Amino acid sequence: MPTKLTNQFVYSSKHNLFALTSGYTHISATKKVSHPRLYKFYGKVENFTPSSDDESITIDMKRCVFGLHFLITPPEEGEYTISYLNRTINLKAGSPAYDEQSIFSFKLPDKCIAPQYSSLMELSLKWTHSDGTFTTETKDITLRRNFIQVIKIEGNKGAKGSKISLNEESGALSKDTILWHFSG
């Protein structure tokens, strides 16, 4: 259940646990996302019961984020559609090179603080060619806590064919007579 952010410790076993179990973060009253573009920190303390106002505690907060840096060379012709984390990049031939880096939060911050934590993300690319045909590929990318994955995408249509032209013979067919004599 989302609550208003305050600068105080709230001792509760029911508030703010929605994102830890569902993997979604509410970014407004009506919109929730699985990998928001924000820094999330997570910390936990076990076996602590506040007994007086003068007790203090320090909670080590772990950053639960990863980065994606896309470096995409536009297609020779047609358009790329690249999909990842419920997001899409469209890049047409003739566009400038795409160079964007973003930081995202992991879905389940209570899990990502584990040492050497990683998860998989499917990256999908569809290249729609000028003639209407398309090529699709997918790739699994390993996301690691506190790492920026640089993803370079370049495509080519393969070997360039030479121009082929046909030149048909014209005119009437020639005749050739074969004379075969035999005796019986």
pLDDT digits (tens, 9 = 90+) for 90-100: 999 999 999 99
Residues 6+ apart with CB under 8 A from 71: 97, 98, 99, 150, 151, 152, 153
Let me know: does 40 contact 105? Beta carbons within 8 Å: yes
* Three-class HEC string of 115-178: CCCEEEEEEEEEEECCCCCEEEEEEEEEEECCCEEEEEECCCCCCCCCCCCCCCCCCCCCCCCC
User: What is the spatial distance between Cα 142 and Cα 139, in angstroms, rounded to a whole number?
Assistant: 10
pLDDT at residue 5, as a whole number: 60
For residue range 124-145, what is the model confidence (pLDDT) as tens digits? 999 999 888 888 888 898 888 8
DSSP code at position 93:
T
Q: Please give the single-letter amino acid code of residue 90.
A: N
pLDDT at residue 58, as a whole number: 79
User: What is the spatial distance between Cα 177 and Cα 35, in angstroms, rounded to a whole number?
Assistant: 84
pTM of the model: 0.66
